[in-house]
């Protein structure tokens, strides 16, 4: 497996040099910033990611103000206790994409976030989860959240600004090239191997998962 500096050099060569590559890298929010992020913003980001999955992202983006209004600003309490009358009205609401299964996830994930309030707070749990066990966070989201398995949880955490990696096609290709995995990661064993590799590169570079993930993607 190449060191992070070696992979960075490969990516830099493809993207105009080290300085040019550095400008393309973004840093995640701090743990303090994530802890202070209101619950409704977590629910908004999670919902947006779920609705974008398998759909045209621009359509969701263009309708997002309507989503915010239709779901009461993603107030966690209101969404968690959404009654059938409200749910049925949303199925007819042209301000949003009227997908009943995905609409149901708003209620289910709001209830999940209410549970996290009892565990120290949404921002504290999701934002403060150690990056060295990021796969543990993804597993928890897949188990306790609604439609947060696979890539959805990865993108939701990235869009929320927490430190994260996304196993995109390019990142996966680099991990395969490095001998970390031999195919797309779906098993616990493969995800553990991915986490170990990222932990190694974090130790070598002092960089975040977010930065390392972007460098891996741009090394192809």
User: What digits encode the pLDDT tens for the residues 26-45?
Assistant: 999 999 999 999 999 999 99
Percent of the chain with pLDDT over 70: 100
Looking at residue 18, the DSSP 8-state letter turns out to be H
Contact between 165 and 209 under an 8 Å Cβ cutoff? The reply is: yes
Strands (E), the chain: none
Q: Work out the mean pLDDT of the chain and round it to a whole number.
A: 97
Fold held by 37-129+145-159 = Endonuclease III; domain 1 (1.10.340)
* Contact (CB, 8 A) for 217 and 173: no
Q: Which two tokens stand for residue 219?
A: 């090394």
* Cβ(164)–Cβ(28) below 8 Å: yes
- The secondary structure of the chain in percent helix, strand, coil, rounded to multiples of 5, reads 70, 0, 30
pLDDT score recorded for residue 50: 98
Q: Where, residue-wise, is CATH 1.10.340.30 in the chain?
A: 37-129+145-159
**Listed residue (100, 96, 74) closest to 87, CA to CA:** 100
Question: What pTM was estimated for this model as a whole?
Answer: 0.96
């Amino acid at each position: 497996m190449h060191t992070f500096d070696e992979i960075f050099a490969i990516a830099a060569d493809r993207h105009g040099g080290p300085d040019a590559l550095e400008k393309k890298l973004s840093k995640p929010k701090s743990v303090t910033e994530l802890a202070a992020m209101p619950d409704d913003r977590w629910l908004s980001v999670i919902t947006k990611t779920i609705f974008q999955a398998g759909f045209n992202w621009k359509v969701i983006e263009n309708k997002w103000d309507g989503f915010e209004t239709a779901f009461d600003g993603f107030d966690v309490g209101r969404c968690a206790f959404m009654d059938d009358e409200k749910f049925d009205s949303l199925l007819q609401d042209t301000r949003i994409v009227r997908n009943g299964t995905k609409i149901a996830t708003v209620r289910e994930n709001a209830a999940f976030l209410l549970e996290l309030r009892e565990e120290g707070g949404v921002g504290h749990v999701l934002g403060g989860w150690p990056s060295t066990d990021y796969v543990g966070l993804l597993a928890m989201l897949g188990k306790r959240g609604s439609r947060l398995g696979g890539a959805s949880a990865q993108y939701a955490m990235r869009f929320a600004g927490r430190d994260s990696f996304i196993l995109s096609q390019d990142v996966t290709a680099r991990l395969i090239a490095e001998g970390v995995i031999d195919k797309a990661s779906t098993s616990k064993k493969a995800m553990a191997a991915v986490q170990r590799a990222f932990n190694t590169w974090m130790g070598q570079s002092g960089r975040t998962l977010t930065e390392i993930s972007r460098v891996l993607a741009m090394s192809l």
